[in-house]
Structures are given as structure tokens and as C-alpha cells.
Structure 1
């Protein structure tokens, strides 16, 4: 549903409308949608064959219905008209974040709504590898074999829940709309009211594989803390890139600047409550930052500092050093 932008995802397509300052500094373009190679998409059925319990949850989720609900919505049709899009289901500008799409007959076509590979990476290189149990029966692998299998799967493009920084960036790459004209011209919302704990632990939560569907556990408090902090930094990282590469001070730049300002207050509170080194460094990088198109060089430099803090936090924290933010975490009743 286009107002909610309920999609999760990672990547690398080029944004239209990058400002001259950004071009001169050779800043990488903003990520768009899943951004995975559609020729490497194998389809949700390859996953649901084994992950039946997770599939049952997905089929009832908002993600599942995005590619059918959005094109039928009045808002979706209105945006498409303004952008000169005749067929929503044939346009990558829409499909990138509202579907999992594959390549067929030399065309991009939606395989489903937002599904397994949108969140976990195009599966051609890893879908068989990750489930082969090193050539043994399930439960017979050694710890070393399991570790090697996961490393190989990750190297082949799989995004696993342990890769928390990558997962967060993947989600944010659609929840912060990565296209200036889509907002300024099309009237698309600049983003959704996204927060990683609330959005990952609600409607789409599918933590039920190892219990064979008997339980769908909410993440531990330590995991929630880390999701909150990493998600906040991932969002700030991309918002700064959005403002830092914006061509005009239109709705796109203004909305992202406002969103960043609100997150900066949260970051200040989290850094004060935890004294966590990476959060403190992140705050120092943005505390006095002015969000103006005349200040894009400094904005993009600050984004790089946030990147370093995000990667550092994800690599070193297990959540135990973030106890001070417990009061900032969403209640279960607020999960999306």
C-alpha cells in the first residue's frame, strides 16, 4: 500500500536528480529497492517448499499483497499518472520496492509482492547451498561445517539475520524513498514511519523455523536494542545521502531533513542513556550539522561518519551495552 511503503530492501540503482555537488564529489548514488539482479531471482516457491511455516505468515502479511494492492489504489494510480507511467506492473520505478521481480522474455516482471529474496537476497547463488547440510542429513553436520556453509551462503549473496547492518540498510533503502522526482513530481510520500523493531517484530515476523511453526518468538531484549540502534543509524545514513544529493529544496529534501532532525534527537537521547562509543561518535558527527543544500559536502561527510559508527556498532555490540535505551523501545502493542 503506497501510503505505508511497507517494504524492506538493499542496493544499487541510480537515482534521478542527483545534484551537481554530489556529482562533483563522485558520491555513490542512493540505493533503490531490492536492487538485486532480477536474473538471479528464483522465486518464493523455492523457499516456501521448506519454510512452510514462515510462508504461511508471509502470505497473510502486508508485504505479500503489495504488488496487487498498490496498483489498484487511487493513490498509486495518481502517482503513476503524474510520473507518466502507463503500466505500474511493468515499471521498475514501482517494482523495485513493491515487488520481487524477475527477468522474463527480456522484460522485468513481478514474481510476487515483497517476498523472501527481497529481504534475503537473490537466491540463485545460495538457495540450494544454504539448505544442503554439507551433503549430510539435517542435524548431522559438525559446527565447523555449519559455519562454512553459512559463510559460503553469505558470500553467494544471502542476507542472514545475523548480518544486522546489511538487513537494516536493506529495509531502509525502500522505507526512505530513493527517488527525488517520485516525491517532488509524483507526490509519493518521502518515506514511511519506519522503526526497525516495530516493523520487524510485527506483521512480518517469522521467527518460527526452528520450532517448526509452534512458536513465533519476539526478538530478545538484547536483539531489540541492537535493532533499534542499528536501524536508527541506517536510516540517518541514508537520509543524509538523500539530502546531500538532492537537486532541489523540494518536498523530497524537506521531508528527509525533517525526518533526520527527529532522529538526531533520538540519537542524542540514546547516546546519553548508554554512553555507547559508536553512538557518541555518531552524535558528534551530526550534532551541529546544518541541513541545507548549500552544505551538501558536509552533509555527505557526516553520512560517512554515520556509516563508520553503524558498522562499528553492528560488529561489536550484542545489545548488552545498550540497556539504557530500553524505555525507547516500542511496546508490543505498537508493532506494525
Structure 2
């Protein structure tokens, strides 16, 4: 790629990352706009297995302190009182925002109490790391010893059991990124078309993970809260684009009518695949998984009544993204450095 082409790619990236999701052009709207089901949230947590942020805070005190200064924490109190939230709930036939999966899936952490699903907090630990009932004690007990006394084999077995119990650890970038995008790309068609909810936020994984929600405090005992290193940010940038593309394709395939949701999701998917194609060119030819993602995305028509093809493309993208997460550390992704969101664009200010 020529120097001028690279400069044009960077400028396009910087524009596309923050572009509001407007209505798509007519060229993206061909098709009968019929599909069998609405998209569903993919957040990996079962309310019957949720232990609540208080349990996590018993050990992760510094992390919990950071969380209490975030919008994720504040949504529990503020969102049910917001004028827009109340308007949307009324349009959807809900008496209260804190009832029904439409709002609970993404805005709250919930538990099952007396057979009913009940919100107990805003977006919290288990929203990202998975419901904790089956891994909380396993991951925190140091194999029955004191911290620092385990053998390497015991540590490995403890983490294996924790992951088997549903724990999503930081290195599992694809899975926790899926949790982010499953809500920041709204998974409910009627919520948008009927309720007037936005179809999604201008979410980008690096900018939104390195701002106020950043909590890299465990391994330094709360002494500092450093950002992810450059290689990790490179990797996050690529993975985030891939997951956004996968999520948007599924949303287009699941939409049922030619209306705001389908149009906006088609626009988002089109922008996402163009951005990913540009990223692949900037990084070069040494990442075949990225080429596979581009091929899968380009082979799916952004029209409704095309669920099978769009889901197949999304499945292929998900498989390739997981392989990319497992194989690369970001060290070879330097071609996208100038496209990475600078600190001035990170979402909010982190504590510490």
C-alpha cells in the first residue's frame, strides 16, 4: 500500500469510528425484509447463577471502588428515572423499567429471587465476566492454600475449573467483547422500531474499555490503573471491529421489517466491513484470519430475508476472530497504530 493510500485509510478510519449510525442508502435495502425472529442479547450470564457485585467486592475492593464511579454503576439509579427511558418503556407497554427482559438484559444485573428475575445492580462484574455461582469459590480459594503457595499445576487446574464454571477471564477477549457489543449494538428490533430506542451507540472497544471502566488494579494491589499496553490495544482494536461486524450481520439477518432497525443495522454492518477491510490492508498479508473475515463479510448480501447467509457469515467471522485471539498478541499489528483511538478520545476518565 502506498504512503498516500495509508494516509487516506487512516483518515477514513478516524471518520468511521465515530460516525453516527444514520439511515442506510437505498442500495442497502433491497430484499423482502422478512425474517423469522428478532435478534436476542448474547450476554453470557444466567440470572439463576448470578452472585452479585457485593460478592466480588469482598476481594476486588479496588476494582469495586472504580466501578462505583462509572456510568455502568449509576444506571441502576438513573436509568429508571430518565425521561427517555420512561417514554420508551411506556411505548413498549411496560409499567416499570425494571421489569421484563427488554431493559433488564442490558441495563442491569439480575438475580432470581422467589422465582422472579429481580435487578440488583447496574452493569457490573458478571455482566462481562459471566455469572459467578459456579466459579466464585474455585477461583478465589488458591487450591485450599494461601496466596503464593500453589504449585504451577494447581494454579493451572484452578483456572481450568474456573473457566469450566463460566468465568470469562481477561485473555478471553472475543467472549468479553461479545458481551460488550451484544448490548451496545441493540439486540431488540421492536425496542427500536416501536419504542424509539437508539439502535446502538458509537461503541469502539479500545476507546470505551480504556476510559472510566478501566480497572487494571488486581496484579499491582491497587497501586495504579495503567492502560492496556500497545500490543493489547492493537489486538482489541481488531477484535472489536470483527465482533461489531459479526453482531451487525446477525442483527440484519434477524430483522423482520423495512424500518429503522434494519436500515440502521445494515448501515452499521456496511461501515464495519469497510473498516475491517481497510484494517486488513494496513496490517498486511500476514494474518490469514483477517482475510477470512473480509471474505465472509463480503459474501453476505446486506438485505433482509437473508438470515441463513448472514448468520453463516457471522459464524465464520466469529470462528476466525476466536482463532485470531488465540494466535496473536498484537505485536505484528503495527500498521494500524495511527488509527488507534488516542487517549483524548477514550470514553471517560478512569479512577487512579
**Cα deviations across residues 137-179 of structure 1 (Å, max 9, x unaligned)?**
1011112211111111000011110111111111111111111
Q: CA deviation at 1:287?
A: 3.0
Say whether 1:153 aligns with 2:162. Answer: yes
3-state SS of paired residue (1:89):
coil
Residue aligning to 2:312: 301
Say whether 1:101 aligns with 2:110. Answer: yes
Q: CA deviation at 1:72?
A: 0.8
Q: CA deviation at 1:333?
A: 1.1
Alignment of 1:15-30 (within 5 A): 21-22=35-36, 30=39
Work out the CA distance in 1 between the residues paired with 2:158 and 2:88: 44
3-state SS of paired residue (2:98):
helix
Q: CA deviation at 1:190?
A: 0.6
The answer to whether the 8 A contact 2:192-2:261 is kept is yes
The answer to whether the 8 A contact 1:92-1:108 is kept is no
Say whether 1:327 aligns with 2:320. Answer: no
3-state SS of paired residue (2:131):
coil
Work out the CA distance in 1 between the residues paired with 2:236 and 2:126: 20
Give the TM-score, by structure 1 length. 0.89
Structure 1 unmatched runs, 5+: 1-18, 24-28
Number of residue pairs aligned between Structure 1 and Structure 2: 313
Structure 2 unmatched runs, 5+: 1-32, 348-352
Match among 289, 294, 298 for residue 287 of structure 1: 298
Alignment of 1:130-145 (within 5 A): 130-145=139-154
Q: How much is the aligned-residue C-alpha RMSD, in angstroms? A: 1.6
Match among 37, 40, 43 for residue 52 of structure 2: 43
**Cα deviations across residues 25-58 of structure 1 (Å, max 9, x unaligned)?**
xxxx744163522111111111101111111100
Match among 297, 300, 325 for residue 314 of structure 1: 325
Work out the CA distance in 1 between the residues paired with 2:143 and 2:80: 43
- Classify 1:109/1:33 alpha carbon distance in 2 versus 1 (closer, same or farther; 3 Å): farther
**Cα deviations across residues 258-296 of structure 1 (Å, max 9, x unaligned)?**
111111221111110112211111112223643111444
Say whether 1:53 aligns with 2:62. Answer: yes
Q: CA deviation at 1:305?
A: 2.2
Q: CA deviation at 1:20?
A: 6.1
- The structure with higher relative contact order (CA 8 Å, sep 6+) is 2
